Amino acid sequence: MAVSGLIMLLYLVVHMLANLKIFFGAADFNGYAHWLRTVGEPFLHHEWFLWSARLVLLAAVTAHAVSAYQLSRLDRAARPQRYVHRRRRASYATRTMRWGGVILGLFVVWHVLDLTTLTVNERAAPGRPYENVVATFSTWYGNTVYLAAMLALGLHVRHGFWSAAQTLGAGRARRDRVLKATANVLAAVLTLGFVSVPVGVMTGLVG
């Protein structure tokens, strides 16, 4: 869980930063998307870099989902009977890891159909991601889906990053505050960075 999660987190940081190019205009953003497909040429064939990244991500998502499923099954079996006196336990981010993860998984499917395959994006055309992003955030459901997913992402990263650090043995008494702060900053920066794009389109800053 920890290793696959950190791979995806690294990807998300890069993805979020790259998304900010949208504020520099269509040429910049679309140029970047074009570069993503030609990077490494002529050593690599066209789109090989992109496909390698997709394969690594697919492996990470699969490993993450499979281990989450196995862990949840194990954990449920280990506590077959609930307490009669029920109490709210742990923080919101901690309690929502399972369902938050499922929501993010569904979001990724929607997101790929929306901005990669363009299947569900009505006014989209291949090769011009800038215009496609603007099309997505010109619909109420596009904005709703993305904003909700970004909030879920922030919560998931907040508990997930710190948790992964513990699993990998990085937790120490004196380092705990630093790790918690890093998790919070990562979660906030990712959420705000990603959210800035739909907000940019909605406010007319991007369009």
Partner 1 sequence: MRLTLNIWRQPDAASPGGMHTYELDGVSPEMSFLEMLDTLNEELTRRGEEPVAFDHDCREGICGACGMVINGQAHGPERTTACQLHMRHFSDGETIDVEPWRAAAFPVVKDLVVDRGAFDRVVGAGGYITVPTGSAPDAHATPVPKPAAETAFEHAECIGCGACVAACPNGSAMLFTSAKVNHLAALPQGAPERESRVLRMVEQMDEEGFGGCTLTGECATACPKGIPLFSISSMNREYLRAVRKGGEATD
Which x/- pattern, by CB under 8 A, does the window 91-120 give for partner 1?
---xx-x-----------------------
Closest CB to ligand HEM among 133 and 179? 133
Say if residues 129 and 33 touch (Cβ distance below 8 Å).
yes
Q: Which residues contact residue 93 at a Cβ distance below 8 angstroms, ignoring those fewer than 6 apart?
A: 155, 156, 158, 159
Say if residues 187 and 16 touch (Cβ distance below 8 Å).
no
Q: Is 19 in the site for ligand HEM (CB under 6 A)?
A: yes
Q: Is 4 in the site for partner 1 (CB under 8 A)?
A: no
Q: Is 177 in the site for partner 1 (CB under 8 A)?
A: no
Helix-, strand-, coil-residue percentages of the chain, each rounded to 5? 75, 0, 25
Among 19, 30, 132, 163, binds partner 1 (CB under 8 A): 163
Give CA–CA dist 146/123, Å, rounded: 17
Instruction: Provide the binding-site residues for ligand HEM, judged by CB under 6 A.
Output: 12, 15, 19, 33, 36, 54, 57, 104, 108, 111-112, 115-116, 129, 133, 146, 149, 153, 194, 197-198
